[in-house]
Amino acid sequence: MMAPHETGVDADFRQRVVETMESVLKQLLERDEPVTEDMRLMDELNVNSLLALELLLRLEEQLQIQINVETMDPDKMETVADLATFITANHRAL
Amino acid sequence: MTALDAVSVYLPTARLSVESVAEQLELSEMQVKLFRRFHGLSDVRYDPELSLSDLLLRAAAGLTELAGQRHRVRYVLWGRAFPVVVPYPVNPLHEVCRTLGLDHALSFTVTQQSCASALLAIDLAGRLLAGDPEPDALALVLTGEKGFTRDARLLPGMSLFSEGASACLVSATGDRDRLLAYACSQRGEFDKAGSESTEAFLREYWPTLAEVIRRALEQAGMDLAEIALVLPHNVNVVTWQRVCLLLEFPAERVLLDNVARNGHVFCTDAFANYQTAREHGRLRPGDRYLVAAVGAGDGATFAAMIFEH
């Protein structure tokens, strides 16, 4: 189990991931409406396989991190929240 | 039992970085970054000075085992991704057979399964030899391709292709690299000419590849854990990471070393990776290894073979 201060750091970082994802997705999808955590990436936002990789790359660049994609199961990344939680737990700072 | 008696590979020595071919292939800066970061593709190999026949002959030239055995070669098969590669009446296969002194052999091209055509050619060679009245008959299986057009060099968002060729001497009763199983799944609905979308093909890609691998294992009566090494097609790194997750197979046991330095060499990847595995001591006598290939575009096919080294 994580210590409370670690949880705090993770929660803060996760929030940053969510905010960055929302802004990147709006840009990638040329979307004016807000993107929220509960939205389904593929079914609702039409994020296809190729766009998903571009999203990851932009997140890496903007957050200055490297995501451990080798452990990512795309089938489990259903929503914006799922992906944000995965990235929070599976990245290293650059 | 079908066996690979000898393998030789030729790849153009010049390597071009993905950045240097970006303009030619109309790749955006983002596409270049994606190829490098996630697909693990950084270099491709082309040699505009070499014809198809040149590529095939250079691969065959490395097959020293052919010397003194030409008379035993009854079949020459060319496994190829593209159905049409030269204008009539040019015939690189016949040119190669003439140059190698193999006019007497029955020669033909195996295609329609895109980059999985090479595995089909090995299987067919084995079946022809098994039915041949001459017990020590041999087959020469060739692969080799040129990237003539942008379409031939690029699978958008997925892979970059390179030129190269291989030559493989196949026997029906050899005792090295014996073929234990071959499974193949043709998915006509994803053929380039078909109506299904690229996205649907990409969604089916990993599970279908995993399924065909499981089927080959079942045919060989083996568990995946018994596979010492996977020799993949070099489509990209991320695909194999995902297939490994799906199969719960360690990615370290997939030979991905050549993805960055060779790119995806159409039907030749399996043989180039076999050669690298041997050079790096990653195959020991008795090891069982799996070769997998997926043909996208013209002839959507997933194929897997299991060999014993």
Tens digits of residue pLDDT in B197-217:
677 888 888 899 999 999 999
**DSSP-derived secondary structure letter, B235:** S
Class of domain B178-308: alpha beta
Confidence of residue A1 (pLDDT cuts 50, 70, 90): very low
CATH 2.40.50.140 fits A9-93, yes or no: no
Query: A80 or B189, which is more confident?
Result: A80
Q: Do A57 and B199 lie within an 8 Å CB cutoff?
A: no
Closest Cα in chain A, distance from residue B132 (Å):
47
Q: How far apart are CA B172 and CA B81, in angstroms?
A: 25
Burial level of B195, CB count in 10 A (0-12/13-18/19+)? exposed
- Distance (Å, whole) CA B260 – CA B36: 8
Q: Show me where the domains of chain B are located.
A: 3-171, 178-308
Residue A59 in tokens? 């997140």
pLDDT tens profile B236-255: 999 999 999 999 999 999 99
pLDDT at residue B196, as a whole number: 58
Per the omega criterion (within 30 degrees of 0), is the bond before A74 cis? no
List chain A residues with CB under 8 Å of B242: 73-74
User: Can you tell me which residue has the tokens 């409370």?
Assistant: A4
Three-class DSSP category at B122:
helix
CATH code, residues B3-171? 3.40.47.10
B95, B53 Cβ separation under 8 angstroms: yes
Q: Which residue in chain A has the smallest CA separation from B31?
A: A54
Instruction: Delimit the domains of chain A by residue range.
Output: 9-93
Q: Between A and B, how many residue pairs show a Cβ–Cβ distance under 8 A?
A: 33
Q: Name every chain B residue with its beta carbon within 8 A of the beta carbon of A27.
A: none
Residue B201 is predicted with a pLDDT of 82
Select from A49, A57, A70 the Cβ nearest to the Cβ of B202. Answer: A49
**ipTM (interface predicted TM):** 0.87
Q: What is the DSSP letter of A2?
A: -
Query: Rounded mean pLDDT of chain B?
Result: 94
CA B265 – CA B308 distance, rounded (Å): 24
**Contact check, Cβ <8 Å, B157/A49:** yes
Name which of B232, B121, B133, B225 is nearest B169 in CA terms: B121
- Say what the pLDDT of residue B190 is: 81
CA–CA distance, B232 with B273 (Å, rounded to integer): 7
C-alpha span between B160 and B127 (Å, rounded): 33
B242:A71 CB<8 A: no
Is the pLDDT confidence value at B130 over 90? yes
Task: Decide if B3-171 and B178-308 have a common fold.
Answer: yes
